[in-house]
Structure 1
C-alpha cells in the first residue's frame, strides 16, 4: 500500500527518456547499472558538477563508446543517476514506514527524514538528489520537481493512514517541510563526512515542528 503510493510509476533509469538506446537484454540492464555505479563513485569523489563521461568510462572499466551507447552526454548520466536515487529512497522509505508502522503522523514524517539521512550516508552518489538545483546543470527541457511530486505522494499517505483532509495547502506545507529537512541533511554532510550530529538532530524534528503549526 505505502510503496504503491510513494513509488508509483516512477521511471527507473533503464527506461528513462535520457537513454540513447533502450536496454532489451539482461546484460544491457546490468551494464547500465554498472555505469551508474561508476557515476555515483565519481560524484562522491569530485562532485556532480565536475563529472565527465570519460571519468565514468575509466571508473567502470568500459570504453567511452559503451558509455555513449547508453547515454548521449553527461547530463543524461546525471539524470539517470538522480532518477535511480529518487526511486531507491522512496523504496527504502516505504519499506521503513511499513516495517515501523508509526502510530502518529509526526512519527511518519520523522521516519521520512531519518531514511533520507541514512541514504545520504550509505547510498553512493546520493548527493545527486539535488543536482537540478544548480543553475545551468539542466541544459534543456523542464527541470522535474521531485520534491514537490513527493509531497503529493506523502499527502496521500497522511490522508489514507492518519485521517488528514486532502488539500492543496497540505501538499504545499509538505513541500516546504521537505525542502527544509533535505537542505539541513545536505548541510550536515557538507560539514562532516559522517554527518554533523546536531544538524541531523534538528533535521529530524524541523518538519514536524513546522507542520504542527497547521495540523496539531
Structure 2
C-alpha cells in the first residue's frame, strides 16, 4: 500500500531489518512518551541507528508513523486470517461473529502490540487524524473499511452487505469509541465496556446483514 512518506523502500535484508528496528523503536517509545513527545532523535537512539538513517527511508515523523499504521493493518489482517481459519473448522462464519472477531483481535493487539494504544491506524485520541492513505471507494470508504470488507468477502466467505463501506466505517468508529472508553478506564481494557462494544457490534451486524 502506498506511503508517500517513504523516501526509499528497502530491498536488501539488512535494510529491511533496519527499517523494522526503527518501527519497533517507534512503537515502544509511543507507549513510553506518547505521540506528541516522540522525536526522530529518540527513535534513532532506541533503534541504535543515526538519525540520518531514518531520513534515508522516511520523510520524518509523519512518514514513519504512517508506515507503522500500515504495518499494524497488515498485522491485524494476519491475525484475523488465523481466527477465521479456526472458526471455519467449527462452522459457517456470520457477520455478527466476524465483527466479534475483529473486536477481540483489536483488544488483544491493544494489550500486546507496542504502541498500538497510541497509534493503531491513527492517533487514537478522540478526533485524532488517520495515518492511513485515503480510500478508493466512491461510496465513501476508507482504507481500513475497504480492506476489512474485502477480507470478509474474499477470505472469510461472507455475503455482501448493503451500503458496505458506510456500514464498515460506522462499525469501525463505534469500535474505536468503545475501546477508547475501555482502555481509558484500565490499561488492560475494562471488560464490561468491551462486552458492551461486543453486544453493540453483534446487534448492528445482525440487523444490516439481514437486509441483504
CA gap of 1:68–1:104, structure 2 versus 1, over 3 A, is closer
Number of the residue aligned with 1:178: 172
- 1:146-198 Cα distance to aligned partner (Å, 9 max, x none): 3322343255259x734x3454x233223212221132123312221111111
1:151–1:175 contact (8 Å) kept in structure 2: no
Q: How large is the Cα RMSD of the aligned pairs?
A: 2.6
Query: Which of 123, 143, 147 matches 1:146?
Result: 143
Deviation at 1:65, TM superposition (A): 1.4
Native 8 Å contact 2:6 2:58 kept in 1: yes
Q: Which structure has the highest helix share of the two?
A: 1
Structure 2 unaligned blocks of 5 or more: 136-141
Q: Is structure 2 residue 199 aligned with structure 1 residue 208?
A: no
Return the alpha-carbon distance in structure 2 between the equivalents of residues 44 and 110 of structure 1: 26
Task: Return the alpha-carbon distance in structure 2 between the equivalents of residues 25 and 89 of structure 1.
Answer: 25
Asked if 2 retains the 8 angstrom alpha-carbon contact of 1:151 and 1:171, the reply is: no
CA drift at 1:100: 2.2
Distance (whole Å) between structure 1 residues aligned to residue 46 and residue 173 of structure 2? 32
TM-score where L is the length of structure 2:
0.81
Tell me which of 59, 80, 83 is aligned to 2:70. Answer: 83
**Whole-angstrom CA distance in 1 between matches of 2:58 and 2:87:** 39
* Gap change, CA 1:19 and 1:189, over 3 Å in 2: same
State the Cα distance separating 1:69 from its structure 2 match: 1.5
User: Take 2:34 and 2:57, find their aligned partners in 1: how far apart are those partners?
Assistant: 21
Aligned to 1:95: 82
For this pair of structures, how many residues does the alignment match? 197
